[in-house]
Amino acid sequence: MTISTASTGRLGLSLVGERVHIHAGDSLAYLKSLADRPPGGLEFLDLLYLDSFDVDFDNPLPSAIHHLKELLAIAPLVSFETLVVVDDSPSSFIGVPDGDILVQPIRPPRIEGKGRLIAEYADQIGAENLFAEYQCGWLHLGRPARSTPRPRPPRNPKATAGSRPRGRAAPRPIA
């Protein structure tokens, strides 16, 4: 997916297989529409690769926010087994020179760039970080995949036929 139509020409299409679809346009709108109306038979994604919105390493927050929005837009199709990868997300740390070793860390390494906010979210929910180099990737960012839909409990006709309004609890006796 790209916002530029120039990169989706014949050359781009000739480099991919027939099962690959290239979309040119706004990534947030497209990912939301894909999540709302997935193609037939698509329960969840195997791979989600986020690499839109160029990162400015002097001001990476706008790009990091955009990539978190992309993850939220497609979230219904992200399962526990989906590999989520974010490009342009190098790890960095803050340290000071030390006499015994080259650098004494002040802050442990953390993912920066486009993936910073997704990394913070992933850490909070206990997702598995598989790699953190210039690209970073996680598993367990989404819902557990189900091979069959969750069955609905049967309705109790007596519970809905009563005289009290729906959503209101029955009065309790005072003890």
pLDDT digits (tens, 9 = 90+) for 70-101: 999 999 999 999 999 999 999 998 889 887 76
Min mean pLDDT across 19-23, 87-91, 159-163 is at: 159-163
Q: Are 109 and 93 in contact (CB under 8 A)?
A: yes
Q: Are 78 and 144 in contact (CB under 8 A)?
A: no
In a domain, 28, yes or no: no
List all residues 6 or more positions away from 107 whose beta carbon is below 8 Å from its beta carbon. 93, 94, 95
The count of domains in the chain is 1
Q: Are 128 and 140 in contact (CB under 8 A)?
A: yes
In a domain, 105, yes or no: yes
**CA-based nearest residue to 56, from 64, 45, 48:** 64
The phi and psi torsions of 125 (rounded to 5 degrees) equal -95, 0
pLDDT number for residue 143:
82
For residues 143-171, give the mean pLDDT: 54
For residues 97-118, give the mean pLDDT: 88
In a domain, 70, yes or no: yes
List all residues 6 or more positions away from 116 whose beta carbon is below 8 Å from its beta carbon. 60, 61, 64, 89, 110
Position 163 confidence tier, pLDDT thresholds 50, 70, 90? very low
In a domain, 8, yes or no: no
Q: What is the DSSP letter of 76?
A: G
In the three-class reduction of DSSP (H, G, I as helix; E, B as strand; rest coil), residue 86 is classed as strand
Q: How much is the pTM?
A: 0.73
In a domain, 18, yes or no: no
The residue segments making up the domain with residue 114 are 44-145
In a domain, 161, yes or no: no
Exposed / middle / buried, residue 114 (Cβ in 10 Å: 0-12, 13-18, 19+): buried
Q: What's at 49, amino acid-wise?
A: Y
